[in-house]
Amino acid sequence: MAGFPIMRSFCFFLFSYCFFTFIAFANVGVAGSSDFDEQVKKRLYQQLDMAGLTGVLNICTECVYDRNAVRDFYLSRDYNPAWIVEGQPGPGVRELIQTISEARDHGLVPDHYHLKSIHTFLEDSDSKFSVETAASLDLLLTDSFLVLGSHFLSGRINPTTIDPEWLVRLRNGNIIPTLSKALADGNVRGELQALLPRHSTYTGLTKALANYRKITDEGGWPMVPDGSTLRIGDRNPRVAFLKQRLAVERDLSQEVAEGDFFDEHLSAAVRRFQVRHGLETDALVGRNTLTALNVSAAERLQQIELNLERWRWLPEDLGERYIIVNIAAFELDLMENTDPVLAMRVVVGKPFRRTPVMSGTITYLVLNPGWEVPTSIASKDILPKIIKDRQFLSKMGFRLFSGWRPEDHEVDPESVDWNSIRPGTFPFRLIQEPGPGNALGRIKFMFHNPHDVYLHDTSSKALFSKEFRTFSSGCIRLENPLELAGHLLRGTPLAHREALEMELASEETRTVRLLEPVPVHLLYWTAWADNDGTIHFRNDVYGRDLILEKAMEQPPPRAFYQ
């Protein structure tokens, strides 16, 4: 009889489950509902209850993606159907289908939101749905709204799953109240569209997407044949291809797009193209310009789609006054109310020491900073230079210490057997004193972040003349740091250039706090639109487009049974 208590407990559990299931069904109804709607409610309860037990919710060949949110939504409305009323599609169904179809305008795939299955359900029902069909379609429509709304709000891909260096805070929110409000107000399309980014750059990219899709559908543009550099004054059969190519993107007017002579109109068009692609604006069609010209329209279309996704990852509010560093473009903009007030070139991290994507807030500046060299840089970059030139440390103003504790003593570099030190085992602490040769220049802009990355001046000014500026170890080197400092220090005496120059001339290290902290966003855009709608493209210098492209190509999960 040892098993009797177990059997008795099991019977009590079974009785309790059946009793409470019966009570749940008895209370599922709502006064005034039709018999048909009552039956649909019971079927919705059954399907969602089973999903809670099995962990899956399949509708024919479709997998309900966000089953937890779907279950919570129906629980909040006592399992009443949301979209199907007395066997007929309610008024919100058409709006939802339209909005799903328009997902293509944002670089998303409509069929990822059950569009084909929804159409199949609607086409297979000539007059009135069966209870089973009504419940299944209601679930699919709800899942479609919740998932599409989530993707509109914070993107289809979670960036941290494909790039650990992507630390920008995602927009997030509960889509269930949005769905309830959309149904109550009869405004399904409006509520969904309100979840999309409202920044003018996002809107500009959607317009560009439509334009480049049209170009792609019409066959794209001609490739310019390879050959020697083309320049003004040349007469060459390749020039005719070049003119046709530039006319498609409207860099060149169609009225002057004939012939094989490289004239002033074409020279100006090449410059416009080079500006839009971050190339040297010399009006010469050399190797880099030719490479950019021969990127296909389909590839440019995809770049726009990928960068629309990146915009959906960004916080809604970038700030009234903020800094944007576009890593892929090697450019910084200081923005005030979406208008640029200062722009400059920057140097970013090498491909194997990439500048991370993240947001922060600049709260203070350091004038005449010293540089405490990270161990990895000391080992990989500085050590080879010391071995090559034993006077390197003294020439560049470095001091050498035996460790990182305050009591650790300074070491004479001449006393060290540098040949015995191997990369990865650098045992010393290196500090570069303030001065004209300091790697951080005369000023650095500080914001808290886990990568210890910041903006700073540099003594290597020649690098700003390069087209592709990936030379740092992750920090951002500024072309005009004093101009940026003047803007950020407004309201203080150091906002004036003369006062700032005088302070820097002292070569004394000083920390200066900002009266108004300024948000800074380190971003990665390979396509964007100016305020006037001009579209710009850049190379994928870190390979981040390729990773995102592969992630976006992955189809949503299918049902576990077919």
Q: What is the CA radius of gyration of the chain?
A: 31
- d(CA 300, CA 265) in angstroms, rounded, equals 24
Q: Which residues pair with 346 in a beta bridge?
A: 478
Q: Which H helix or E strand runs over 392? A: helix 392-395
| Alpha carbon 366 to its chain's center | 30
The set of residues, in sequence order, having a beta carbon less than 8 Å from that of 295 and lying 6+ positions away, is 537
The residue among 150, 148, 145 whose CA lies nearest residue 90 is 145
The answer to whether the CB of 141 falls within 8 A of the CB of 117 is no
The answer to whether the CB of 362 falls within 8 A of the CB of 517 is yes
H helices, E strands: number in the chain: 19, 19
The residue among 455, 192, 216, 490 whose CA lies nearest residue 331 is 455
456 is catalytic: yes
536 is catalytic: no
| Count, residues in the chain | 562
Which phi and psi angles does 261 have, rounded to 5°? -105, 130
The answer to whether the CB of 112 falls within 8 A of the CB of 82 is no
Q: Which of 151, 277, 456, 536 is catalytic?
A: 456
Orientation of helix 115-124 relative to helix 131-154, angle to 10°? 160
Q: How many CB atoms lie within 10 A of CB 245?
A: 21
Q: Where do we find the tokens 């509960």? A: 174
Cβ-count burial of 502 within 10 angstroms (0-12 exposed, 13-18 middle, 19+ buried)?
exposed
- d(CA 253, CA 532) in angstroms, rounded, equals 18
DSSP E strand stretches across 311-357: 321-326, 331-336, 339-349
Distance between first and last Cα of the chain: 47
- d(CA 21, CA 44) in angstroms, rounded, equals 14
Q: Which of 112, 475, 521, 536 is catalytic?
A: 475
55 phi-psi bin (left φ>0, alpha ψ -120 to 50, beta other): left
Which residues participate in catalysis according to the annotation?
A: 456, 475
